[in-house]
Amino acid sequence: MYTQTLYELSQEAERLLQLSRQQLQLLEKMPLSVPGDDAPQLALPWSQPNIAERHAMLNNELRKISRLEMVLAIVGTMKAGKSTTINAIVGTEVLPNRNRPMTALPTLIRHTPGQKEPVLHFSHVAPIDCLIQKLQQRLRDCDIKHLTDVLEIDKDMRALMQRIENGVAFEKYYLGAQPIFHCLKSLNDLVRLAKALDVDFPFSAYAAIEHIPVIEVEFVHLAGLESYPGQLTLLDTPGP
């Protein structure tokens, strides 16, 4: 019975989301002024970029409704143990831990039955590649001695700087815990390096949830359970 209720609720939510999309499409077609009228154009409370952002948000909600996906955000202050909590819920280490804050970008961890080895999908990697090109030029021009005064250069940071100097881009796909750890650590170090070199990190390019990294893995505590409708996804967030 509850399966039928879930289905009916999801259908109603989808109907309302589709209706919202139709209203946005009407807004896009609405004229700013009447032809032949000398009155000034109306100052509207929306803009084309704003409408595009709303479209992206509604499309993402439709995607979650179609999968019956529940996204549970894990929030807290910096180094409060968010990644550790997620590792405990998943039942295996899928997120790295270091003494310094580790989550540079929000990261989705999706329960995927049968996926024993974690896999990270990072499809929207282009903004990071552009950042690496800028940092590559800055590293060529900067005074390394001055850089060491404003930035702690440990083994991981040194490896990242070498990688940037060699022009090695990020991959769109990482399989296994260690490659995932390395990717997420490098993203965190990129934030620190960009700040030290006075280069803007492209946080705005990852404002939409469909652009952030996604880890797919079977949650140990859910393995082997009877299949139910829906999908559980955790969201690891950077701390303030």
Rounded CA separation 98/152 (Å): 14
> How far, in Å, are 40, 58, 86, 236 from residue 108 at the CA level?
47, 18, 10, 6
- Report helix, strand or coil for 111: strand
Q: How many residues does the chain have?
A: 240
Q: Using 50, 70 and 90 to split pLDDT, how confident is the model at 42?
A: low
- 74-78's contacts with Cβ under 8 Å and 24+ in sequence apart are 74/234, 74/235, 74/236, 74/237, 75/237, 75/239, 76/239, 77/239, 77/240, 78/238, 78/239, 78/240
Q: Is 85 strand, coil or helix? A: helix
Q: Parallel, antiparallel, or unpaired: how do β-strands 107-111 and 214-217 relate?
A: parallel
- Separation in Å, CA 75 to CA 8, 12, 103: 31, 29, 11
187-238 tens-digit pLDDT: 989 998 998 889 999 998 898 888 899 999 999 988 877 777 778 899 998 8
- pLDDT > 90: what percent of the chain? 31
Yes or no: say if 101 and 188 are a contact pair by the CB < 8 Å rule: yes
Quote the strand ranges of 37-184, DSSP E.
Answer: 69-74, 107-111, 119-121, 173-175
- Return the CA Rg of the chain: 22
pLDDT in tens, 45-59: 566 667 777 887 888
Question: Is the pLDDT score of 28 beyond 60?
Answer: yes
Q: How many CB atoms lie within 10 A of CB 82?
A: 24
Tell me the whole-structure pTM to 2 decimals: 0.78
pLDDT tens track for 76-93: 887 778 888 999 999 988
Contact 136, 165 (CB under 8 A): yes
